[in-house]
């Protein structure tokens, strides 16, 4: 089970759908309504925000959910309001409770990432975890969020990261191998 499925199941959301790299849409209609759409946009966006932060500063303190303040603000910094607004726009269900729901998703995502990395981890193991999980998470990110532009990381909005098939899968394995060994 990948990290997206773990967070989604732990929170009780319906299964998330991968984004088709050709149409840039999810296959099903149920993922575009209400809480399903909030999860479809929120879970991958939050995980990728965590991964982006850990790539820039591989410090386990980011994942400490006991600190005071907004988890979304800690993950996205000054871009938090833009990210929340885009997730709300994607869900087409603006609700005063969406902020709380996104904070809940962020808390669970941080817990799952922290458990996946393990206690007492070093910079190398954090980078390896991110490199192993980021490509799978990108498959679920709705392109309308334009998260790469917001986080100043063009790799997040690259269509080729969402392609699947024998060649794409092979290239992703090669990428994971080089990403995880280059920082040891």
pLDDT of residue 110: 95
Give the C-alpha separation, 51 to 91, whole Å: 23
What is the average pLDDT score of the chain?
A: 82
Does residue 7 contact residue 47 with C-beta atoms inside 8 Å? Answer: yes
Give the C-alpha separation, 98 to 61, whole Å: 25
Question: What is the chain's alpha carbon radius of gyration, rounded to the nearest angstrom?
Answer: 16
Give the C-alpha separation, 19 to 76, whole Å: 23
The yes-or-no verdict on residue 28 having pLDDT over 90 is no
Is 112 within a domain?
yes
Q: Give the side-chain half-sphere CA count within 13 A for 78.
A: 1
Tokens 């709300």 belong to: 88
Give the C-alpha separation, 114 to 120, whole Å: 10
pTM: 0.82
The yes-or-no verdict on residue 96 having pLDDT over 60 is yes
Q: Quickly state the pLDDT bin for 184 (edges 50, 70, 90).
A: very low
Give the C-alpha separation, 33 to 109, whole Å: 22
Is 51 within a domain?
yes
Is 18 within a domain?
no
Domain range for 104? 3-10+26-181
Mean pLDDT score, 165-182: 59
The yes-or-no verdict on residue 8 having pLDDT over 70 is yes
Q: Quickly state the pLDDT bin for 159 (edges 50, 70, 90).
A: low
pLDDT of residue 151: 86
Is 32 within a domain?
yes
Is 17 within a domain?
no
Is 20 within a domain?
no
Is 62 within a domain?
yes
Number of structural domains, the chain? 1
Give the C-alpha separation, 16 to 9, whole Å: 10
Does residue 15 contact residue 139 with C-beta atoms inside 8 Å? Answer: no
Q: Quickly state the pLDDT bin for 32 (edges 50, 70, 90).
A: low
Is 121 within a domain?
yes
The yes-or-no verdict on residue 29 having pLDDT over 60 is no
């Amino acid at each position: 089970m990948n990290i997206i499925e773990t967070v989604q199941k732990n929170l009780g959301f319906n299964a998330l759908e991968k984004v088709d790299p050709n149409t840039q849409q999810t296959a099903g209609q149920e993922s575009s309504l209400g809480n399903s759409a909030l999860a479809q946009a929120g879970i991958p966006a939050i995980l990728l925000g965590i991964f982006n932060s850990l790539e820039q500063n591989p410090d386990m303190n980011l994942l400490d959910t006991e600190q005071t303040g907004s988890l979304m603000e800690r993950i996205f910094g000054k871009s938090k309001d833009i990210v929340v607004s885009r997730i709300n726009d994607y869900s087409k269900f603006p609700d005063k409770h969406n902020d709380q729901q996104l904070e809940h998703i962020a808390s669970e995502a941080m817990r799952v990432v922290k458990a996946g990395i393990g206690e007492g981890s070093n910079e190398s193991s954090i980078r390896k975890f991110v490199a192993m999980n980021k490509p799978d998470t990108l498959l679920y990110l709705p392109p309308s969020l334009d998260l790469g532009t917001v986080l100043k990381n063009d790799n997040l909005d690259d269509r080729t990261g969402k392609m699947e098939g024998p060649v794409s899968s092979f290239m992703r394995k090669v990428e994971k191998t080089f990403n995880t060994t280059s920082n040891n």
